[in-house]
Amino acid sequence: MATIVTRNPHTGGELAAYETMDADGVETACARAESAARAWAEVPVANRVALLRALGTLLTERRERYAALITAEMGKPITEALGEIDKCALSCALVADRAPEWLADEVVDTPAQRSWVAYRPLGVVVAVMPWNFPFWQVIRFACAALVAGNAGLLKHSPNVTGCALALEAVIDDAAAACGAPAHLLQALVVAEDAVPQVITALVDDDRIAAATLTGSERAGAAVGAAAGAALKKVVLELGGSDPFVVLDDADLDAAADAAIRSRFGNSGQSCIAAKRWIVQETVADAFVDRVLTRLDRLVAGDPADPTTTIGPMARSDLRYAVHEQVVATVAEGATLITGGVLPQGPGCHYPPTLLDHVSTGMTAARMETFGPVACVIRVRDDEEAVAAANATAYGLGASVWSQSDRGLAVGQRIRSGALFVNAVVASDARMPFGGIGRSGHGRELGAIGVREFTNVRTVWVGDGAGLPVIAE
């Protein structure tokens, strides 16, 4: 049987080896999930929220253990990993507080004696999740799916297999603590070359009701195609090349602080990172100077050291891919201000890199750069800023910086699933999250995200007297 080996991206050393599931193992997981979903669907929402509260408590109690696992498997600085676990715990509490309202029947005034909209569970949801936020990505899916009365099958990235199994275990522990069914979320440890066939077969399985994926466009297209062929619901959160627009009346110090935090947090490995800095020419030099000062303060090194602020990239192949994008963009005419040199030695480190005088057609602006690389696109005015921001196939988030109403006015003209003015694009359990264009479709989080995994059901109770029917 094949094994999955996880490695420390700081040292390159082996962490653990995991046996992969065969076809029987996947079948067992699917059968368990179906059984758990049937039982869980009959539990009222008011009781389901107890699972989220228990889960949040356990995440808080075990935060150091889980944060250390994140840091070891994908290289996130330990302070950021602790923040990720804290965000997961907070989100469990927030969803538990609001889910009874979000999933309550909605009475509609019609000629019927009674009529309402109900939100009923779908069943088993297959979730394909990425490595960059190995706990948060899963928890934000699981909170929505589970509180809506569903069960989940988790296919996590192989380099964070330890995180996947820890998530399965902590949800089982939370279920046991509150009397919920076991096996509400199960991790599928599948050999990498078998993943496409396994996911396609699962989506086609009559026991699977829906699928969700956060990841690359290629993976999203594959899962979307499988779901389309099977006529199943699918939610896709894919790549992003978010614009970070700095207008000439912006607070440049605040904008520079935010730009660094957004672009270089998690070593730049975030779909909502500020990847394209679109700056008006009259303030571009001053903005770049401020950014460089802040880049010098970043501390690269061992992500387990609390003083480290930028750790390694998660895998060597990802590091080489980003470096090739930098090299291509410089060859296309961009100016390399700092970084851009592939380090020697073990691990997957890559230096914070800044490219200036980038145009919208260059590689770093046209493609998603999933690493610690930022590019500055200089524009003349608001019109050109909007055009540059929209010169992308992606549409996940957008951030605009201005000390006047121009910020919101410019932002409203940018195509994106989220708009943040004088703030860094972020996800919040109370607000829907997702994109348009090649950034995917459907929404996670908020009331809409919870309802994505439900059957929105119309219920009409008549009096039997033959009310008139309005033709379609």
Question: Under 8 Å CB-to-CB from 383, ≥6 apart: which residues?
Answer: none
A 10 A CB-CB count for 320 gives 14
pLDDT at 223: 97
Q: Which helix (H) or strand (E) holds 386?
A: helix 382-389
pLDDT at 472: 54
Q: Is 384 a catalytic residue?
A: no
Going from the C-alpha of 157 to that of each of 104, 127, 306, the distances in angstroms are 35, 11, 26
Assigned architecture for domain 242-421: 3-Layer(aba) Sandwich (3.40)
Q: Is 88 a catalytic residue?
A: no
Domains of the chain, by residue range, sit at 3-237+442-459, 242-421
Give, rounded to a whole angstrom, the gap between the first and last alpha carbons of the chain: 56
pLDDT at 372: 98
The conformation of residue 133, written as its DSSP 8-state character, comes to S
Question: How many residues in the chain?
Answer: 472
pLDDT at 464: 82
Kindly name the residue from 92, 271, 348, 375 that is annotated as catalytic: 271
pLDDT at 469: 57
Kindly name the residue from 168, 237, 368, 444 that is annotated as catalytic: 237
Mean pLDDT throughout 8-26? 97
As a whole number of Å, the CA-based R_g of the chain is 23
Single-letter amino acid, residue 136: W
Instruction: Give dist(CA 335, CA 317) in Å, integer.
Output: 25
Confidence of residue 470 (pLDDT cuts 50, 70, 90): low
The conformation of residue 209, written as its DSSP 8-state character, comes to E
Question: How is 28-44 classified by DSSP, letter by letter?
Answer: HHHHHHHHHHHHHHTS-
Q: Does domain 3-237+442-459 have CATH number 3.30.930.10?
A: no
The conformation of residue 307, written as its DSSP 8-state character, comes to T
Single-letter amino acid, residue 305: D
Instruction: Give dist(CA 129, CA 146) in Å, integer.
Output: 16
Q: Is the pLDDT of residue 96 over 60?
A: yes
pLDDT digit string, tens, across residues 292-349 = 999 999 999 999 999 999 999 999 999 999 999 999 999 999 999 999 999 998 999 9
Place of tokens 């800095």: 277
Single-letter amino acid, residue 97: D
Going from the C-alpha of 311 to that of each of 201, 241, 316, 465, the distances in angstroms are 37, 21, 13, 70
Mean pLDDT throughout 33-47? 98
pLDDT at 468: 55
Strand partners, 420: 399
Phi-psi region of 465 (alpha: psi -120 to 50; beta: other; left: phi over 0): alpha
pLDDT digit string, tens, across residues 221-259 = 999 999 999 999 999 999 999 999 999 999 999 999 999
Contact 356, 337 (CB under 8 A): yes
Q: Is 52 exposed, middle or buried (0-12, 13-18, 19+ CB in 10 A)?
A: buried
A 10 A CB-CB count for 328 gives 15
Instruction: Give dist(CA 275, CA 281) in Å, integer.
Output: 18
pLDDT digit string, tens, across residues 400-446 = 999 999 999 999 999 999 999 999 999 999 999 999 999 999 999 99
Confidence of residue 461 (pLDDT cuts 50, 70, 90): very high
Instruction: Give dist(CA 316, CA 74) in Å, integer.
Output: 11
A 10 A CB-CB count for 114 gives 12
The conformation of residue 271, written as its DSSP 8-state character, comes to T
A 10 A CB-CB count for 46 gives 11
pLDDT at 463: 85
